[in-house]
Structures are given as C-alpha cells and as structure tokens.
Amino acid sequence: MSWNWRLASALASLAVMLVLITTNVRLATNSISLYAFLFERHNVSERTGISPDGLRTVGTQVQAYFSTEVGPLYVEAEVYGLRRPLFSEAEVAHMADVKGLFHLTWRVQGASGLFLLLMVIAAAVRFRGGAWYVLATWTRNGAALTAATVAAVGAVSAVAFGPLFTLFHRLGFRNDLWLLDPRTDLLVQFFPFGFWRDVTLLIGLAAVVEAGLLFFAAHVVLRRLHRPAGEQTTSVRLS
C-alpha cells in the first residue's frame, strides 16, 4: 500500500470522529427542548426573573441567531415584569464570537462529511467489492478514536472542568469579552457554568453511545468479510 493511501485511511478514521462530535454539537445547539430542560435544571427563571415561557422564547431567538447569518443579536423579554433588552453591547459582541465558533464547527462537519464521501468513492473504485472491508475498518477505528478522545476529555473534565473551560475560552477567543459577571450580566445567568458542563457531558455521552454502536456494527461486518487483496496495511489499529 502507498503511504498516500495509508495517510488517507488514517484521515478517514479521524473524519468519522469529527463527524460524530460535530453532529452532536449541532444537534445540541439546535435543540430548544434541551435549552428548556437545562434552564429548568439550573433555575434560570429564578436567576433572571424571566418566566419559563419567556425563557423558551429567548432560547428560540438565540438558537435562530446561531443558525442564520442575521446581524447582531437583539432579544427583549419581561424581566421581573418589565420588558427590556436583555444583553449589553459586550454580551452581544461575545455572542458574535460564539456564533463564529459554531459556524466553524459546522464547516468542520461539512468538510469531514465530504472527505468521507470522497474516500468511500475512492475505496469503491480501488477495491470494488472489497471496499466494504475497508469502510468497516475506517468506521471501527474512527469509533474507537471517538471513544478514546471523549474518555480522555471526560477524565480531565471530571477533576478540572473549570480550568478546562477557561482554557477553551482563552484558545477559542481573541478577546476577554467572555469574562462576564454572573451577578450583573444576564448572558451568564442564562447560560451558567453548569449549563455548559451538562451540555458537554450530554454531547460526550451521545458520541460514545454512537461510537459504540458503530464499532459493534463494523466489528460484525469485519468478521463476515475477508481482507481484500492489497489492503494488508490500510487498517489503523489503536492499541
């Protein structure tokens, strides 16, 4: 096997992991039901003075902002019975930065999916009927890589989620607009530290479950198939 094909095969397994994780991030970002559940779980109504119905409306507007190319975020709601704009100029600017990160995630998702599609076509042309073995190998390795990565991040998060959360912000943003005051800034009251911890946990759990199902399916396929000629070194084993 050529080194080019070995590298492409390793990247295909990596793309499986990226598709799994970015897809779960996208699903979580677009789930109003998840927002409502976590708002209730973290007592956001009591924190902000906004009714549960009002919170759901705000969550819908924030989700729509993340999903579209509309301009600056502007949201109004009744806070302790008085209707007012919710977010300051600094909070709106930070949300624009957050939106930029989400859109980068969507681009990674799209690029990874497109790369996998091209690799499937390349494997079908190169190995014909034996392509199923190659695809199952990529899937198995990508699922194992996903589980290992999530487990590593989860282990660190279990003992140091706060520092990890701070590191993420320092690496992900070029400014300090994310340093908001939970006593006065509604954005932090809407999305408190525990909200993001729970979202991260749910995304990780979903990715691990999906990876487990894919690993099992790929393992079954590999047991039923024989390695195609010329594919002796395509498998990227994780040990």
More confident residue, 70 or 232: 70
Name the nearest CA neighbour of 109 among 174, 25, 180, 37.
25
Q: What is the pLDDT of residue 110?
A: 97
Q: What is the pLDDT of residue 68?
A: 81
Name the nearest CA neighbour of 79 among 191, 203, 186.
186
Q: What is the pLDDT of residue 239?
A: 32
Indicate whether 104 belongs to any domain: yes
Q: Tell me the pLDDT band of 234, cut-offs 50, 70 and 90.
A: very low
151 C-beta neighbours (distance < 10 Å), count: 12
Indicate whether 200 belongs to any domain: yes
Q: What is the pLDDT of residue 105?
A: 96
Q: What is the pLDDT of residue 10?
A: 93
Count how many domains the chain has: 1
Q: What is the pLDDT of residue 235?
A: 42
List, for residues 78-122, the tens digit of each pLDDT value. 999 899 999 999 999 999 999 999 999 999 999 999 999 999 999
Indicate whether 236 belongs to any domain: no
Mean per-residue pLDDT of the chain: 90
Indicate whether 36 belongs to any domain: yes
Say which range, 34-43, 138-147, 155-164, has the weakest mean pLDDT: 155-164
Q: What is the DSSP pairing of strand 76-79 with strand 82-85?
A: antiparallel
Query: For helices 3-29 and 52-67, what crossing angle results, to 10°?
Result: 150
Indicate whether 229 belongs to any domain: no
The domain of 33 spans 3-224
List, for residues 4-62, the tens digit of each pLDDT value. 888 989 999 999 999 999 999 999 999 999 999 999 999 999 999 999 999 999 999 99
Say which range, 40-44, 67-71, 153-157, 197-201, has the weakest mean pLDDT: 67-71
Residue 18 is encoded by which pair of tokens?
């990226």
Indicate whether 194 belongs to any domain: yes
Say which range, 10-24, 56-70, 146-160, 223-237, has the weakest mean pLDDT: 223-237
